[in-house]
Amino acid sequence: METKVVLLLGLLAVCGLSQASDVPNENQLPKFCRTSDCPSYQLVKKYDNFEHRQYEETRWVTTSLEQDFLGFGMVKSFRRLFSYINGSNSEGLKINMTVPVVMYMPLKKPPAGNSTMSFFVPHEVVNPPKPTDSEVYLERSPAASIYVKPFGGYAISYTYAKQAEKLAKELRALGLQFDDAYYKSAGYNAPFEIFNRHNEVWYKAL
Ligand SMILES: *[C@@H]1O[C@H](CO)[C@@H](O)[C@H](O)[C@H]1NC(C)=O
Ligand SMILES: *[C@@H]1O[C@H](CO)[C@@H](O)[C@H](O)[C@H]1NC(C)=O
Ligand SMILES: *[C@@H]1O[C@H](CO)[C@@H](O)[C@H](O)[C@H]1NC(C)=O
């Protein structure tokens, strides 16, 4: 009897896993996050060229993004955030690097605000310490329904912008409602990682 139950549970577990692919459950983060902590989500629906995901509530540490053609502004913003996780905070706490690095890109102004860069605050940091740099701040994102277009290779701002345009077209073609006031880019790799690079663009579903 007991053996049968165990077998059945085992079978259920195997079925559950084979169905999962890159869809995380409570104890499993998406494969493309590799060894880093990252936000978890439920796959709502997989389309040909994009996915609909339901994300958990997340916390982020954010700074403004100075955009310029050469990307120096981006490096500055990255350094500010890196400094926060490297101990420039009220507790001198070192926080592990996470993924993705997210950039908020307004498409309309004024109401869509300024562009920003954010690091995900890992699950293990329950009470994130205050940043010491006045240009860095903590944010909470409520649980959200997001359309995500994943793509590979090295991505620069231009690449993300083009992919966002494509995603917007695909969403409109299917009559899916989304907030077109901004998109977010999500990068999952350090520059030195050459293979299996994973990038995404996000639109908030309405
Ligand atoms: C991180 O902080 C340590 C001191 O705790 C410092 O020696 C190191 O240079 C910092 N790293 C970066 C990349 O800022
Ligand atoms: C930070 O990452 C390392 C290596 O992945 C891991 O061993 C460690 O537990 C993490 N730190 C915390 C506070 O979880
Ligand atoms: C955008 O940036 C400008 C210049 O730094 C600032 O004056 C303005 O308050 C910012 N707007 C928002 C919505 O944060």
Domains of the chain: 49-204 (3.20.80.10)
Distance between CA atoms of 20 and 31, rounded to whole angstroms? Answer: 11
| For the CA of 35, the nearest ligand | 2
- pLDDT band per the 50, 70, 90 thresholds, residue 27: low
- Looking at per-residue pLDDT, the higher value among 13 and 200 belongs to 200
Point out the ligand 3 atom lying closest to the alpha carbon of residue 113: 13
Estimate to the nearest angstrom the gap between the alpha carbon of 1 and the chain centroid.
45
Range with lowest mean pLDDT among 65-69, 80-84, 91-95, 117-121: 65-69
Probe target for ligand 2 pocket from 96, 99, 126, with the most ligand atoms within 8 Å of CB: 96
pLDDT of residue 2: 42
The rounded Å distance from CA 86 to ligand 2 centre is: 14
pLDDT of residue 108: 82
State the pTM of this model. 0.85
The pLDDT of 25-39, averaged and rounded, is 84
The rounded Å distance from CA 161 to ligand 3 centre is: 22
Answer yes or no: is the C-beta of 113 below 6 A from any ligand 3 atom: yes
Report how far apart, in Å, the C-alpha atoms of 146 and of each of 43, 91, 98 are.
Answer: 10, 33, 20
Percent residues over pLDDT 90 in the chain: 73
Answer yes or no: is the C-beta of 25 below 6 A from any ligand 3 atom: no
Residues sharing a CB contact under 8 Å with residue 80, sequence separation 6 or more, in sequence order: 63, 133, 135, 136
Check whether 137 has a pLDDT greater than 70: yes
The rounded Å distance from CA 94 to ligand 1 centre is: 10
- Looking at per-residue pLDDT, the higher value among 137 and 111 belongs to 137
- pLDDT band per the 50, 70, 90 thresholds, residue 111: low
Range with lowest mean pLDDT among 47-51, 144-148, 155-159: 155-159
